[in-house]
Each structure stands twice: as C-alpha cells, then as structure tokens.
Amino acid sequence: MESLKDKAEEVLRTVYDPEIPVNIWDLGLVYELQVDETEKKVKIIMTLTAPACPVAGDIIAEVQQKTEAIEGVKDVHVHLTFDPPWNKEMMTEEAKLELGFL
C-alpha cells in the first residue's frame, strides 16, 4: 500500500512551472515534504526558480489543491521560502538531462 508521503510526492511530480517543461519535484523546488501519517497532515516547504516568478500564486495554489485532493489528507500547509535561493544544482539528473544541462 502506498504511503501518504509517496502519494504526495507523486502529486508534486504533476505540478509544472509553466516556463520550464519539468515538474517542481525534479526541478528541486520542493525543499521539504513532511507527512504525519497518523494525523494525515502534509507540510510542504518549497521555493520558486525566481522570487519575481509571475505565476508564483498559481503554482502554490496548484500544489495546495492537488495535495488536498489526496484521499485521506486532512490538512495541508504550503510554505514558500527563498532561503536558500534555488539554483540549477538542486535539479535531479533527469531534469538536468531534459533541459540540456548535462
């Protein structure tokens, strides 16, 4: 049986930065995914590729909505941070390959 944390990670892989054809998980924008399996609470600490990202609100709202839609989840908190600032080294190897950084 898939854990709540696995389901949350799976959902985060469906959220894309509209300016980059890679999901936010592989881009390294999710700094922390905390899941309380007992209380069914999810906390996501994430960033954006740039503080002035014009679609910041849309991305955060999509993360919130998709995580809340996971069966069994009772509470979701999405925390946006820019510390540390995002950089290309935070991407997975797959993302770097897809974007031509390897």
Each domain of the chain, given as residue ranges in start order, spans 4-98
- The pLDDT score that the predictor gives to residue 54 is 86
What fold does the segment set 4-98 form as a domain?
Answer: GMP Synthetase; Chain A, domain 3 (3.30.300)
Residue listed under structure tokens 């993360």: 63
Phi-psi region at 28: left, alpha or beta (left = phi > 0; alpha = psi -120 to 50): left
- Kindly give the residue spans of alpha helices, DSSP state H, lying in 1-55: 4-12, 24-27
Q: Write down the pTM of the prediction.
A: 0.93
Instruction: State yes or no: pLDDT of 23 exceeds 90.
Output: yes
Instruction: State yes or no: pLDDT of 79 exceeds 90.
Output: yes
Query: C-alpha distances in angstroms, 21 versus 49, 54, 92?
Result: 13, 16, 14
Instruction: State yes or no: pLDDT of 1 exceeds 80.
Output: no
For 76-102, what is the mean pLDDT? 94
- Closest to 27 in 3D by CA, of 79, 101, 77: 101
- The pLDDT score that the predictor gives to residue 92 is 96
Mean pLDDT score of the chain = 94
Q: Provide the pLDDT confidence category of residue 78 given band limits of 50, 70 and 90.
A: very high
Written as six digits, the tokens of 67 are 């995580």
Q: Which percentage of the chain shows pLDDT scores above 70?
A: 100
Longest dimension (CA), the chain: 41
As a whole number of angstroms, the distance between CA 56 and CA 79 comes to: 12
Instruction: State yes or no: pLDDT of 18 exceeds 90.
Output: no
